[in-house]
């Protein structure tokens, strides 16, 4: 019986270590994405002051952020239960980067930002 408890305890410790490592890896990704987005946003031109007319805005809402995170990193599923906001921020940051890159490849000069993520 004590051998079974020792094995279960070891499995719990290993799973905790794997989840901790995955969260650390995801946090590093978030920091890198924030740096890239910050650099890109500062290079974008601001709208002319006093133009007086509102510009159209395209809003995109990702309805399945956790599915996307799990597809990219299988350990994101358990991590999403511990830190769902962090997973959402990562998914939205990555999506913003991909959209900006695709628009640039099409020759579109656009400012892509995330709000509230």
- The span from the CA of 1 to the CA of 15, in Å, is 21
Q: In the predicted model, what is the mean pLDDT of the chain?
A: 81
Q: Tell whether the model's pLDDT for residue 46 goes beyond 80.
A: no
Which of 24-38, 46-60, 99-113 shows the lowest mean pLDDT across its residues? 46-60
pTM equals 0.51
Which of 9-13, 20-24, 36-40, 71-75 shows the lowest mean pLDDT across its residues? 36-40
DSSP state letters, 3-44: HHHHHHHHHHHHHHHHHHHHHHHHHHHHHHHHHHHHHHHHHS
């Amino acid at each position: 019986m004590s051998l079974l408890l020792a094995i279960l305890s070891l499995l719990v410790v290993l799973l905790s270590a794997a989840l901790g490592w995955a969260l650390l890896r995801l946090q590093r990704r978030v920091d890198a994405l924030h740096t890239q987005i910050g650099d890109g946003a500062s290079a974008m031109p601001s709208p002319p002051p006093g133009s007086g007319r509102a510009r159209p805005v395209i809003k995109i809402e990702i309805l399945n952020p956790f599915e996307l995170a799990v597809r990219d990193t299988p350990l994101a599923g358990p991590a999403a239960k511990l830190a769902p906001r962090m997973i959402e921020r990562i998914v939205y940051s990555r999506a913003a980067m991909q959209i900006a890159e695709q628009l640039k490849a099409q020759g579109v000069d656009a400012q892509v930002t995330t709000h509230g993520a």
